[in-house]
Amino acid sequence: MSAASDLRFFPSADGDLAYLDTGSGDPVVLLHSGFVDHRVWEAQIPALAAHHRVIAPDVRGHGASANASVPFRWADDLAGLLRHVDAGPAVLVGLSMGGAIATDTVLEYPELVRAVVTCGAATSDFEYTDPWVRQVQAEQARALGAGDAEGWLTAFLRFVPGEHRDATDVDPDVLRRLREMALGTLAKHTPDEENHHVPVTDTWARVPGIGVPVLTVNGALDAPDLIAEAERLARTVADGRSVLVDGTAHYPPMERPGELNKILLDFLGAL
């Protein structure tokens, strides 16, 4: 994994935001999923940096980045970072929460975005309807409200195998790394703190206006409604397509890194 000494810091108006900046060429931004940090892309960073400039931030409130103390939007943070490092227009690649950040950003700042890849995500205007997902989210909420970090982690890690596998089907190192990252982010927060994140509104109504190529990538074992939303995104934009990765659920970058790297490099090479 990248060392803390490799990180750089963008002095935003509400604290320093950490990011990795490596390689050279056309910029690609890797946006991690919730509760972890940029290291979720450990297998993608060197593969992409061989041909591209790779920027991998820690989203506000995650990893080495500052927590929010005032209202903020993901897209505004990312736009500020891209301008700070002179890296637009960039290809945005986002996993789960990071995919929502990518779509928020192309909607709010289209001039900064060359293309979008969402992995396990569609837009930020999304609510799970799958009963299993809602059950796991309820377990997380109960544990978080009780200050039960271990209970929260147990529920969080259930998303890795998905509904139709269990933890024994997942490489223990994947679970270990996710646990380490999640504990680091969890330690930055308290159960009763205010959520300062401000959502971007009317995302689906604005999706048809996205004028850049969009690729959606989902693990074939992920929640069916999440896959359906991703496929809807790909159908709705002017230039979109969707891909399924077998043998994984919500974390293709970690469980199927070689396959995902090929998908990403092929997509980038065709731009």
Q: Are residue 243 and residue 153 in the same domain, yes or no?
A: no
Q: Please tell me the least confidently modeled range out of 79-93, 132-146, 254-268.
A: 132-146
* Three-class secondary structure of residue 20 per DSSP: strand
Residue 127 — pLDDT band, cuts 50, 70, 90?
confident
Residue 2 — pLDDT band, cuts 50, 70, 90?
low
Sheet containing 113-119: give its strands across: 8-12, 15-22, 53-57, 27-31, 90-95, 113-119, 214-219, 240-245
Q: Are residue 209 and residue 181 in the same domain, yes or no?
A: no
Q: What is the mean pLDDT of residues 20-49?
A: 97
Q: Are residue 136 and residue 252 in the same domain, yes or no?
A: no
Q: Are residue 30 and residue 102 in the same domain, yes or no?
A: yes
d(CA 245, CA 222) in angstroms, rounded, equals: 10
Condensed to tens digits (0 to 9), the pLDDT of residues 234-256 reads 999 999 999 999 999 999 999 99
Q: Are residue 135 and residue 240 in the same domain, yes or no?
A: no
Domain span at residue 68 reads: 4-128+195-269
Condensed to tens digits (0 to 9), the pLDDT of residues 178-229 reads 999 999 999 999 888 899 999 999 999 999 999 999 999 999 999 999 999 9
**The pLDDT of residue 157 is above 60:** yes
Number of domains the chain is built from: 2
d(CA 67, CA 40) in angstroms, rounded, equals: 19
Q: Are residue 168 and residue 156 in the same domain, yes or no?
A: yes
> What mean pLDDT is reported for the chain?
95
Residue pair 233/122 in contact (Cβ under 8 Å)? The answer is: yes
